[in-house]
Amino acid sequence: MNVFQELNRIDWRNNPGAASSAARAVLSVVILAAAALLGYFLFIKPKLEERDALVAIEASKLSDFKGKQQKAANLEPLKRQLEDIKLRLEQRIKQLPNKTQMAELLVDISQEALAAGIQTDKFEPQAEISKEFYAERPIALKMVGTYHQFGQFISGVANLPRVVILTMHDIALRPSASNANIKLPPGTLVLEGTVKTYRYLESDETAAATPGPVPAVPRGQGGKP
């Protein structure tokens, strides 16, 4: 009779002492294994899962810390780069015409068109529009000339002493329509629409352009009584 058969035959309730030492040893091993297995699932496994979760959180926080540390290390160079960009921007803005030079600049642009042989049918500067640190001046125009003449005009404007920025707003360049009264050479083009030129705002103008608080409307004057 082997040990397992013996374990099955023993009356554990009334006569457990009848088991041999080998049977008792096997039973002890089984009980210890069951206790160890139960202890693993009740105590050890939850702790291991908690440890794995804490390790994942630690890795995430460590990665976040390294990213912030790298940003902090680059902060000073980025600040210096930003200051350099601001300085260069101010220098470029200073190269734009100021308020007193703007009227002369508009005359110079018109003269460049005349020197290029362009026929100016319309050149009407509009009211200025103030922005944060510059003002834009729309110009409604209509010019007639050849492709070569327009190229000469743009080149002349680019070579003016002051930096001139002309942006095309709703400009159309099209072949000139035939007109019985005016005979134009072949290849004549019509440039019509609005361009914008810019000037920088001086410190006093910038302060004046900064919007202040909106005043309250007195009752009975535009509001409900």
In order, the DSSP letters of 17-55 are GGS-HHHHHHHHHHHHHHHHHHHIIIIIHHHHHHHHHHH
Q: Which residue carries 């979760």 as its tokens?
A: 53
pTM higher than 0.85 for the full model? no
Yes or no: domain 99-209 corresponds to CATH 3.30.70.60: yes
Residue 3 has pLDDT above 60, yes or no: no
Domain boundaries, the chain: 1-11+18-94, 99-209
Task: Give tens-digit pLDDT for 128-146.
Answer: 888 877 888 888 889 999 8
Query: Which tens digit of pLDDT belongs to each residue from 175-199?
Result: 876 554 556 666 788 888 888 888 8
Mean per-residue pLDDT over the chain, rounded? 76
Q: What per-residue confidence (pLDDT) applies to 200?
A: 80
Gyration radius (Cα) of the chain, Å: 44
Residue 218 confidence (pLDDT) above 60: no
E-only strand ranges, 93-180: 119-125, 129-130, 134-146, 167-168, 172-175
